[in-house]
């Protein structure tokens, strides 16, 4: 049997004999050695070069990224600034829109004296609000509150009574009557369209008033029958007060009637002519009441304009045979209003006198004494004063170029030109 070899311990290994190194001179390595060394070092050198290039590239990219980040920050700042500016601009624009809207409303409030113009401004404000989605409530409320022009009957017309200039202000008095020559009252600014030289005038104030002015003729029929002799002195005083109150700018005339009919003062604006004529009256004879009325109705029918007749009597007709129907027809054709004062002495024809007054749209008063005459005549004077509209216009107005029309669209507007009659 073979005995296995046992590997000796290191301590038991016999040391190798070392030969001392001989000193050799230095010499260049062989080509093969250089080539081998270069081949061995090339990967290491290339890796080191690549690492340095990568570091430079990384530094360049880092710088570029930093610059880009800075630019982005600047851009973001600009963008935020623009957004803030745009929001501020939008807020400012919204504020301007609201301001313009409410300025339109305030302007409409300012021109409410001319409702037609105010309505046009409010319509513009409503359109602006709808375009920019603003609250329409204040506009709708104001439009609803605007006054509307009255619906007037066909044939209603305007006539200019007088026109005056004071400095830079012009005043025009106008009357509005219907087809039966009845004055139309309670009109306002909205009912008139005023223009000058074809252009509308907005700054016009309209004030209704009761005046005695314009082309108005008044006949004063005075009973001078013998039965009136006792009352005549007091009647003269009351009659002169009436003439003084109404004559100029109205034309008056005085007619006495007894057994005959006589004009004692002709048509005139001068109250002195008429008061002198009244002072000359004397009482005698019968009562030609209907004859005096018929003559007066024919006289009034000769003229255009507005007419009134005032009759003072104390009895019924006792002389003549005039036709009452013809008298009423003549008075109605000239739109003459007959106002009658009857002193009650138990001999008046009250039903007839009342009929005449009613059918001519005048008035009838039955008085018990001459002491009531002044009050009676004053009441007649107030009734005879018709409603007149005074237009106050800023600026000088050329009479020939002024036009006043009724604003209601349901009828053909009547243009009033100031064809004036002199007061003297």
What would the pLDDT profile of 182-233 be if each residue is shown by its tens digit?
Answer: 778 788 888 888 888 888 888 788 888 766 555 688 999 999 998 888 888 9
**Residue 328 to residue 330: CA distance in whole angstroms:** 5
The string of DSSP letters for 302-316 reads TS-SEEEEEEEESS-
Which pLDDT does position 243 carry in this prediction? 87
The count of other CB atoms within 10 Å of the CB of residue 228 is 23
Which pLDDT band, with edges at 50, 70 and 90, does 65 fall under?
A: low
For the segment(s) 216-384, the CATH number from 2.40.50.140, 1.10.4080.10, 3.40.50.410, 1.20.1260.10 is 3.40.50.410
36 sits in the region (left: phi over 0; alpha: psi -120 to 50; else beta) called alpha
**Residue 407 to residue 190: CA distance in whole angstroms:** 7
Mean pLDDT within 26-35? 53
The count of other CB atoms within 10 Å of the CB of residue 415 is 14
CA atoms within 13 A on the CB side of 266: 0
Strand segments (E) across 326-382: 336-343, 363-367
Average pLDDT along the chain? 78
Which pLDDT does position 190 carry in this prediction? 86
Report the predicted TM-score, pTM, of the whole model to 2 decimal places.
0.52
- Level-2 CATH architecture, domain 157-212+387-406: Beta Barrel (2.40)
Which pLDDT band, with edges at 50, 70 and 90, does 79 fall under?
A: low
Mean pLDDT within 398-411? 73
């Amino acid at each position: 049997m073979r005995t296995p070899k046992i590997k000796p311990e290191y301590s038991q290994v016999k040391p190798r004999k070392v030969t001392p190194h001989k000193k050799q001179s230095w010499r260049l390595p062989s080509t093969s050695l250089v080539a081998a060394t270069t081949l061995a070092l090339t990967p290491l050198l290339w890796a080191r070069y690549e690492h340095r290039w990568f570091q430079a590239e990384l530094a360049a990219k880092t710088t570029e990224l930093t610059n880009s980040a800075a630019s982005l920050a600047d851009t973001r700042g600009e963008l935020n600034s623009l957004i803030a500016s745009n929001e501020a601009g939008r807020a400012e624009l919204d504020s301007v829109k609201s301001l313009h809207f409410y300025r339109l409303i305030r302007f409409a409030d300012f021109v409410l004296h001319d409702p037609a113009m105010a309505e046009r401004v409010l319509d513009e404000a409503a359109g602006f609000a709808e375009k920019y989605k603003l609250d329409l409530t204040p506009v709708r409320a104001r439009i609803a509150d605007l006054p509307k022009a009255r619906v007037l009957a066909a044939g209603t017309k305007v006539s200019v009574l007088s026109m005056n200039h004071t400095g830079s202000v012009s005043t025009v008095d106008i009357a509005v009557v219907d087809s039966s020559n009845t004055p139309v009252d309670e009109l306002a600014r909205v009912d008139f369209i005023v223009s000058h030289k074809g252009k509308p005038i907005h700054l016009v104030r309209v004030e209704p008033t009761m005046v005695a002015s314009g082309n108005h003729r008044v006949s004063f029929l005075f009973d001078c029958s013998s039965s009136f002799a006792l009352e005549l002195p007091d009647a003269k005083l009351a009659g002169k007060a009436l003439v003084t109150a109404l004559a100029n700018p109205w034309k008056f005339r005085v007619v006495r009637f007894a057994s005959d009919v006589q004009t004692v003062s002709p048509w005139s604006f001068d109250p002195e002519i008429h008061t002198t004529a009244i002072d000359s009256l004397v009482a005698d004879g019968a009562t030609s009441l209907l004859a005096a009325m018929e003559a007066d109705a024919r006289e009034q029918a000769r003229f255009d304009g507005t007419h009134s007749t005032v009759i003072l009597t104390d009895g019924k007709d006792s002389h003549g045979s005039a036709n009452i129907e013809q008298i009423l027809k003549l008075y109605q054709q000239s739109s003459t209003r007959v106002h009658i004062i009857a002193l009650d002495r138990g001999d008046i024809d009250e039903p007839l006198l009342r009929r005449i007054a009613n059918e001519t749209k005048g008035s009838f008063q039955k008085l018990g004494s001459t002491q009531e005459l002044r009050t009676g005549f004053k009441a007649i004077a107030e009734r005879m004063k018709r409603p007149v509209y005074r237009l106050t216009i800023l600026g000088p107005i050329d009479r020939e170029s002024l036009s006043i029309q009724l604003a209601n669209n349901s009828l053909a507007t009547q243009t009033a030109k100031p064809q004036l009659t002199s007061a003297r």
